[in-house]
Structure 1
Amino acid sequence: MQTIRQIAMLRDAIAAFRAAGESVALVPTMGALHAGHIALIEAAKRPGRRIVASIFVNPRQFGAGEDLARYPRREATDSQMLTRAGCDVLWAPAVEEMYPNGFATTISVTGVSDGLDGAARPGHFDGVATVVAKLFNQVRPDVAVFGEKDFQQLAVIRRMVADLDFGIEILGVPTQREDDGLALSSRNIYLDEAERPRAVALPRALGVAAREIGRGGDVATAMAGAHDMLSAAGFVIDYVALVDAETLTEHPEPGRPLRLLAAARLGATRLIDNVAVDMQASA
């Protein structure tokens, strides 16, 4: 695996892949890799396809008081994991390479970015859209792979790709979980020994509510139950929301695909999760 830190060298590597008739997949990450990231690499693999993984802790998607300074950085370990997974290129630019002096452009995707985490973390998705657009222009992939755990992020990226005619296939990979159901996340390392067992209340609360709604139960009652489960476990809730799985609008029309999303804090750690609502659950 090549580790590349300059855009000119990255473009040379991509040009060599193209000259050999190979396609390119991009797996964007912020490092601190775990099995969920490796699942993205595995999903990207195809005969004749090269895989580029990026590691860049993007300062533009962290707000005031968020965990930019303490966000885990462990490139040596991440590099070993990517090599074992069969990645071809690690694209690991410095902040100065990504945002050189005088950088003045921001991409904003309205609609899908307005509520949920967009409301809880103002400016977050502008930072996400801007850095992902830059990664797309730097790597110029045929396909880019993202996890469904960051479901709103995935929706923002899909909207941006459609609106700006990037011509890139966006592949969403189902959330990878621990044995007890907790979604894999780089931020899970922040949970202490007392918090970690209680964190599983997040996927459990969503699962219970999603099954109740899928069986035709009262939505308000199911949502109140999720709130109660999370509060009992010690979470401070940012939101629990039932939305249209494509537009992320609340109060979706009958017959539309549904997704239940939540964000909540346990101690100093903010966790997010989501589950699909199967309206055939009663069948």
Structure 2
Amino acid sequence: SPDGGDASEMREFDIDAKSFVEGGFRAPASKSGFNWLDKDTVIVSAAFEEDEKTQSGYPRVVKLWQRGSRLEDATPIFEAHKQDLAAGGSLEFDGDKRHLLLTRTLDFFASHSFLRLPSGENRRIPLPDDVTDTVLFRDQFVFGVRSPWTAPDGTLCKPDGLYSLDFARWIETNALGPVEIVLEPADRVSIAGIARTRDRLFINLMDNVRGKVVACDRSGSGWSLQPVALPENGSVGISHAERFGSTVSF
């Protein structure tokens, strides 16, 4: 960021060579966002020109930028509304599967998420606007809600509970299917955050103002939860989880 503000310049950096890549990806200072799709394609949440910005000044258009092409020629694939807060895109991994997810952020507490299909369709994930604590894990789309929501199969999803839907099935059939309960809400217990490694999902809880962490796994029989053995007389949080490995630190 040239002046310490929200706008920042983007330049491609070679970690091994410890230098910027000559002729690599480079974009001028803006409130835009960037994520890799592959080694030659960048997902750009663009906020360079006025028509690319929301009323809040954040990205409104998501584009795919190919290596060797001009930023101005990047291909638009998704747009939010002018009155929305922002639009964004990211590549999410689930085992050996990769999913391009797009987000239309309506405000600080509401958003719509979409999956970019190989056909070029942006299919909305059919969940309520106030969904929270989302992650992909073992072909499941895990989520929480800020207000009560009844799923099409009759499952009542409550705040400070955690739930999942069969994401692979939804991709194939475009039907939501059964919603599973990962964690039942409980009195005086709130979810402080979630994180995943390659083989486990971790839930950071505040239980009567005391921090706890639960490790979750999923098999054909459903979800299993196991408390992580941590000291009970301190503040506990998940500081890092290795998505492509098994390491997690608290």
Q: How high is the TM-score relative to the length of structure 1?
A: 0.25
Higher helix share: 1
Higher strand share: 2
Q: How high is the TM-score relative to the length of structure 2?
A: 0.27
